[in-house]
Amino acid sequence: MHLRLIAFLAFVLVQTSPGVRAETAIVLNSVDESVSFVDTRTYQEYGRAPVCKEPHHLMAMPDDSAVIVACAVSNELVFLDPRTGTEQKRIKNISDPYQIGFSPDKAWFVANSLRLDRVDLYRAADFSLIARIPAEKTPSHMAFDKASQFVFITLQDSNEILAIDLKSRQTAWRYPVGPTPAGIHMTPDDRYLLVGIMGADYVEVIDWRARRTVKRITTARGAHNFLPRGDGRHVFVSNRTVSGSISLLDMQNLSVVESYDVPGGPDDMEIREDGKELWATARFARKVQVVNLEQKKLSHSIRVGRSPHGVSFISHAPRQ
Partner 1 sequence: MNAFLTDLFVNTQGWLFDRLVQPALFALGLAGYVEMGFEGIEFVLMGVLELGIAYTILRPLEAFWPAEQWSGRKAVRVDVMYTLLNRLGIIPVVVFALLAPAFMALDGWLRFHDVIPRQLEDWLPGLDTHPLASFLIYLLILDFSEYWRHRLSHTISWWWALHGIHHSQRQMSFWTDSRNHLLDDLIGGVWFAGLSLLIGVPPGHFIGLLLTLRLVENLSHANTRLGFGRWGEYLIVGPRYHRWHHAIDLPEGKRYRYGCNFAILFPFWDALFGTLYLGAGLPATGIHEDTPEAITARNDFWGQQKLGLILMWRALAGRRPGSSAT
Interface with partner 1 includes 31 (CB under 8 A)?
yes
Q: How far is the CB of 76 from partner 1 (least distance, A)?
A: 9
Q: Binding residue for partner 1 (CB under 8 A) from 156, 219, 289, 312?
A: 156
Distance CA(278)–CA(116), nearest Å, equals: 33
Contacts of 141 (CB under 8 A, 6+ apart): 99, 112, 153, 154, 182, 183, 184, 196, 225
Interface with partner 1 includes 115 (CB under 8 A)?
yes
Give residue 294's identity as a one-letter amino acid code.
Answer: E
Helix (H) or strand (E) run with residue 9 in it: helix 2-16
From residue 1 to residue 30, what is the string marking binding to partner 1 with x (rule CB under 8 A)?
Answer: ------------------------------
Q: How far is the CB of 148 from partner 1 (least distance, A)?
A: 25
Interface with partner 1 includes 96 (CB under 8 A)?
yes
Interface with partner 1 includes 130 (CB under 8 A)?
no
4 phi and psi angles, rounded to 5 deg: -60, -40
Q: What is the DSSP letter of 319?
A: -
Distance CA(122)–CA(128), nearest Å, equals: 5
Interface with partner 1 includes 303 (CB under 8 A)?
yes
Nearer to partner 1, 31 or 124 (CB): 31
Please name which of 193, 246, 191 lies closest in space to residue 219, comparing C-alpha atoms: 246
Nearer to partner 1, 297 or 303 (CB): 303
Q: Binding residue for partner 1 (CB under 8 A) from 44, 243, 255, 295?
A: 243
Q: Binding residue for partner 1 (CB under 8 A) from 97, 101, 222, 266?
A: 222
Interface with partner 1 includes 131 (CB under 8 A)?
no
Please name which of 141, 114, 290, 295 lies closest in space to residue 224, comparing C-alpha atoms: 141
Interface with partner 1 includes 307 (CB under 8 A)?
yes
Helix (H) or strand (E) run with residue 5 in it: helix 2-16
Distance CA(169)–CA(279), nearest Å, equals: 35
Q: How far is the CB of 20 from partner 1 (least distance, A)?
A: 29
Give residue 173's identity as a one-letter amino acid code.
Answer: W
Per CB under 8 A, residues contacting partner 1 are 31-34, 49-54, 73-75, 87, 92-93, 95-96, 113, 115-118, 132, 134, 138, 156-157, 179-180, 198-199, 221-222, 240-243, 264-265, 283-286, 303, 306-307
